[in-house]
A and B are shown apart, each in its own frame.
Chain A
Amino acid sequence: MSSAGIDSKGIDKVRDWILGRHPERTELAADVDLIESRLVDSLAFVELVYTIEDAAGIEVDFESIDIEDFQTLATIEKAFFA
């Protein structure tokens, strides 16, 4: 973890975006359910998708979104950054 903060991985950008919306939190484990915990709600969801698109350099197809892919940081990493 010594120098990871400088050249952060894509998934860290996603984590930073979520933490940025919730100043009361300082960390976010990979297995926290983002929906159940209301860290990402329906209106913020689209911003999450754009954040992932920017960080991963991909385009997400809104028509075929699988919510399972967005459940936790771990599932997001697996689906978009693996």
Chain B
Amino acid sequence: MDAVSYTAQWMAAARAQESEREDALFVDPLARDLAAPRGFELIERYAGGGLLPFISIRTRFLDDAIREVLAESGIQQVVLIAAGMDTRAYRLDWPDGTEVYEVDHALLIAEKRRRLDALGAEPRTDRREVSADLTQEWLPALEAAGFDRERPTLWVAEALTFFLTEEQAAGLLRLLASASAPGSHLAFDILGRALLRSPFSKSFLETLAADGTPWIFGTDEPEEFLTANGWKTTDLREPGQPGAGEGRWPYQVQPRNRRGANRLWLIRAEIATA
């Protein structure tokens, strides 16, 4: 498994820990088995800085986004980009007829399938694996699995944009827009730029870089970034706000105009119409 797959194990370990809390924001019964071998070790390695609560809050924010967008829009085509060890296809309630595409590289998909099969896990909707290299053209593989760009889509890109350059992140949004029928939605997260530049983040960021998974992209103007790349922001939250882990976030939510604040953006958007 490559470095980004260890990141997937780290996320799974964080979800396993969250699931065991009294006040759990979600319960992911498969996460513990998907976190091996390195997930829990990485929780220790990357400890501090609000990461664990952020991972939990983000997971719940996206769970809510998926449920609400599908209920309101009638969208039946959901694409989890760089799905990693995500188990939403196994744990959320899906409207009848929903197709969930999980896109990730072949090694991760094979390992995830092996583990889920061993657990006897059964998806709760039409789950489709898509092995693809996200740094190459991957829409053809998605379409080969049944994706139809003429139908509206909900795209979910959890914990993905950090690892891209600004050009790559912009390119991803434009690529998704190019394959989005009218009425399509996007739910994802972006780091704030200040966070990537703060001297207090330095040692954590250096650890990530040494592990081959540097955090690269962040912006303090997420709405502008989306608009420039074909998307209209419909819901923008920061952890600690209502609907985004209020009461579970161990930091103050800083007013938007406050200088220098470290931001983590949780975003829902819809395809811009010409």
Measured CB to CB, the residues of A under 8 A from B are: 35, 38, 40-47, 49-50, 60, 62, 65-67, 70
Contact = CB atoms under 8 A, between A and B. Distances in A.
Given A41-B200, A62-B260, 5 more contacts: A41-B48, A42-B198, A46-B260, A50-B258, A66-B199
A42 B260 contact: no
Contacts of B201: 42, 45
A41 B199 contact: no
B203 interface: yes
B48 A67 contact: no
B202 A67 contact: yes
Contacts of B195: 42-43
A67 B262 CA distance: 16
Contacts, number: 51
Given A62-B259, A67-B202, A46 B254 contact: yes
A38 B202 contact: no
A39 B261 CA distance: 18
Contacts of B163: none
A41 B254 contact: no
B-side binding surface: helix, strand, loop or mixed?
Answer: loop
B252 interface: yes
B200 A67 contact: yes
Contact of A42 (B47, B200, B254, B258): B200
Given A41-B49, A46-B254, A47-B252, A70 B261 contact: no
B208 interface: no
A59 to B, nearest CB: 9
Of B199, B202, B258, B261, chain A has the most CB atoms within 10 Å of the CB of B199
B212 interface: no
Those 5 A-B pairs whose CB atoms lie nearest each other, nearest first = A67-B199, A62-B260, A42-B201, A45-B200, A42-B200
Contact of A62 (B194, B203, B204): B194
A43 B49 contact: yes
B260 A47 contact: no
Contacts of B258: 46, 50
A66 B254 CA distance: 22
A68 to B, nearest CB: 9
Nearest to B251: A43
Contact of B262 (A43, A50, A65, A66): A43
B74 interface: no
